[in-house]
Amino acid sequence: MRALSSASIGVRPTPGAALGAGGAGAIEGLTRGLAVELAPVRVNAVRPGVIRTPMWDGIAQPQREAVFATLAERTLPRTVGEADQIAATHLYLMENRFVTAASS
């Protein structure tokens, strides 16, 4: 099984992020194409939203929390994800032999 990582910006672009949106969209198209070409090898992509990781550490704590709060309001669960949740998604895709060509 192959698992790629995409980004929610591929389906919800923001101003100034055209290259990121294009890259994320390309990964999802590549995922579907590789799933067909490499079958029965499974290929999936994980599309996380905003995830609390050290990538955000360059922003001062009060501002970072304000950004997280604003971004969380744009999500259905009203929260920012954690890295272990994304790892669990990758594990699910690796363990479930029935899933292929999915972006989740």
pLDDT band of residue 46 (cuts 50, 70, 90) is: very high
Spell 34-58 as b/e; 16+ CB within 10 A means b. bbeeeeeebbbbbbbbbeeeeebee
What are the C-alpha distances in Å from 43 to residues 49, 69, 102? 20, 33, 8
Q: Can you tell me the mean pLDDT for 12-24?
A: 93
Q: Can you tell me the mean pLDDT for 11-32?
A: 93
Which domains occur in the chain, in start order?
A: 2-95 (3.40.50.720)
pLDDT in tens, 78-95: 999 999 999 999 999 999
Q: Can you tell me the mean pLDDT for 9-28?
A: 92
Mean pLDDT value across the chain: 92
Alpha helices in the chain (DSSP H): 18-38, 61-72, 83-95
Q: 6, 8, 103, 104: which one is catalytic?
A: 6
34 phi, psi to nearest 5 deg: -65, -35
Tokens of residue 76, six digits: 């259905």
Question: Contact, 43 vs 34, CB < 8 A?
Answer: yes
Is-catalytic flag, 6?
yes
